[in-house]
Amino acid sequence: MNIKISFKNMPHSDPLEQHAKEKLQKITDFLKDENATPLNVELHIEGHKTHAYNKAQLHLRTPNYSLDSHDECEDLYIAIDNTIDKMVKLLKKEKDKQKDKNHKRENEKNKFASDKYKL
């Protein structure tokens, strides 16, 4: 698993990076339960010079998912927390979609197998 944290328009901050890694643990734990290993996790933290809002963007690439989330806030810690929480919600939503697809496929197979016009 590759975790990349990049800072734009601001100097590197070890406490901010440590906070982000702790919060990214939620995503890695969720994907471990699903037995999917993430290929790439990219977190871009951007500080603006002209206004007080800062941005956090998260890109997740796995064999099953390709998801993005972002948030803007005055406090970078809150922006990171919100971005990661949004990603967890997206992962849960995508997982439910895949379950529904698999369930539908199984129902169609069973319906065809129990067809009264068997050859």
Q: What are the boundaries of each domain within the chain?
A: 2-113
Look at residue 37 and tell me whether its pLDDT is greater than 80. Answer: no
The pTM assigned to this predicted structure is: 0.79
> Taking the C-alpha atoms of 48, 3, 91 and 75 in order, what is their torsion angle to the nearest 10 degrees?
-30
65-79: average pLDDT: 92
CA angle, residues 88, 3, 75, in degrees to nearest 5: 60
CA angle, residues 6, 16, 2, in degrees to nearest 5: 45
Superfamily of 2-113 according to CATH = Ribosome hibernation promotion factor-like (3.30.160.100)
**Cα distance between residue 85 and residue 71, in whole Å:** 10
DSSP β-bridge partners for residue 70:
57
Look at residue 39 and tell me whether its pLDDT is greater than 80. Answer: no
- At 112, the pLDDT band (50, 70, 90 cuts) reads low
- At 36, the amino acid letter reads A
